[in-house]
């Protein structure tokens, strides 16, 4: 039930964030891309978190930023889990050379140094919204694939599968009706963990200037804060702390939820 507590906390965080994102036009005091004040002003009644380098309200920017950051996280995670689940299921179910090849690929992706490769890919593909999703998805699928494969392997060994095969069930039917459902819940947990990963990575890439600075994610807010000397002028307190806290909150929300799900679903972790 402690696990439940953690999970609830995580879900709450997520729900609050997603709701803010959806309700952004109503809860944000100003449109995020409009110059509504003088640049670099500290927090005031008019602008609770001050203004950025072009006079846009930081609070509004962060609220709308929920949409971008979470969307990137979600989409990248969906891509990663789609590839990962497919690979894991196919490898675990069909075995043989298919399995060997796929797992080789997984090993390769896991061995090649992660962040450097990501930086390289991001720089190669260019800073754009979709490229970041592609880059993250292309690297984050490997670990879920392994986990799912293990799950498929153990599912396959179950008696009812043997029975079904004996009764003449086709591979497709088996996959669909027995294997896939067993894997889905694990895939969900992996998805959530992948999303938390993706949000962190996007923030890092954007901050390094490899993301799309015109897509107003929290990472790009931090990029501008850094680039426009927020650390020197004391502006970091309202320009750097809040986006970082939001990123942490989002990642934590996903992590708690995913952790709780995994504790519940992964049989090997149970006592």
* Residue of 251, 228, 250, 252 lying closest to 240 (CA atoms): 228
Among 138, 198, 255, 261, binds another protein (CB under 8 A): 255
Give, as ranges, the residues between 118 and 157 that touch another protein (CB under 8 A): 119-121, 123-124, 126-128
Q: Determine if 221 is a binding residue for another protein (CB under 8 A).
A: no
51 phi and psi, to 5 degrees?
A: -120, 160
Give, as ranges, the residues between 153 and 212 that touch another protein (CB under 8 A): 196, 200, 203-204, 207-210, 212
Cα–Cα distances in angstroms (integers) from residue 255 to residues 66, 77, 165, 236, in the given order: 17, 13, 38, 26
Task: Give the nearer residue to another protein in terms of CB position, either 82 or 263.
Answer: 263
Q: How many residues contact another protein, by CB under 8 A? A: 63
DSSP string, 150-184: HHHHHHHTSHHHHHHHHTT--HHHHIIIIIHHHHH
Q: Determine if 238 is a binding residue for another protein (CB under 8 A).
A: no
Beta carbons of 51 and 36 less than 8 angstroms apart: yes
* Residue of 81, 11, 78, 65 lying closest to 255 (CA atoms): 11
Q: Determine if 82 is a binding residue for another protein (CB under 8 A).
A: no
**Partner residues linked to 51 by β-bridges:** 57
Among 115, 163, 165, 176, binds another protein (CB under 8 A): 115
Question: Token pair of 237, please?
Answer: 């307190």
Q: How far is the CB of 14 from another protein (least distance, A)?
A: 13
Task: Give the nearer residue to another protein in terms of CB position, either 120 or 165.
Answer: 120
Beta carbons of 26 and 268 less than 8 angstroms apart: no
Q: How far is the CB of 87 from another protein (least distance, A)?
A: 16
Task: Give the nearer residue to another protein in terms of CB position, either 62 or 179.
Answer: 62
Q: How far is the CB of 254 from another protein (least distance, A)?
A: 8
Which value, in Å, is the radius of gyration of the alpha carbons in the chain?
A: 22
CA distance 79 to 169: 30
Q: Which residues bind another protein (CB under 8 A)?
A: 2, 6, 33, 35, 39-40, 53-55, 104, 107-108, 111-117, 119-121, 123-124, 126-128, 196, 200, 203-204, 207-210, 212-214, 222-224, 226-229, 231-233, 236, 240-241, 243-244, 247-249, 251-252, 255-256, 259, 269, 271
């Amino acid at each position: 039930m402690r696990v439940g507590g953690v999970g609830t906390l995580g879900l709450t965080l997520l729900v609050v964030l997603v709701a803010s994102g959806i309700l952004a036009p109503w809860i944000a005091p100003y449109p995020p891309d409009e110059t509504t004040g003088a640049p670099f002003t500290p927090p005031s009644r008019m602008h609770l978190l001050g203004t950025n380098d072009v006079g846009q309200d930081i609070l509004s920017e962060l609220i709308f930023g929920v949409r971008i950051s979470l969307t990137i996280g979600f989409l990248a995670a969906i891509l990663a889990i789609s590839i990962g689940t497919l690979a894991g299921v196919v490898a675990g179910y069909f075995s043989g050379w298919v399995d060997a090849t796929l797992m080789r690929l997984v090993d390769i992706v896991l061995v090649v140094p992660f962040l450097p490769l990501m930086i390289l890919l991001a720089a190669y593909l260019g800073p754009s919204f979709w490229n970041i999703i592609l880059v993250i998805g292309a690297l984050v699928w490997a670990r879920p694939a392994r986990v799912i494969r293990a799950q498929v392997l153990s599912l396959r060994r179950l008696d009812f599968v043997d029975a079904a095969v004996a009764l003449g069930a086709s591979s497709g039917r088996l996959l669909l009706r027995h294997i896939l459902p067993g894997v889905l819940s694990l895939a969900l947990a992996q998805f959530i963990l992948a999303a938390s990963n993706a949000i962190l990575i996007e923030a890092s890439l954007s901050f390094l200037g490899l993301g799309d600075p015109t897509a107003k994610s929290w990472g790009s807010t931090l990029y501008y804060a850094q680039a426009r000397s927020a650390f020197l002028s004391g502006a970091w307190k309202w320009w750097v702390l809040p986006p970082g806290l939001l990123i942490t909150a989002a990642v934590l929300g996903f992590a708690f939820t995913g952790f709780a799900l995994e504790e519940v679903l992964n049989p090997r972790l149970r006592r």
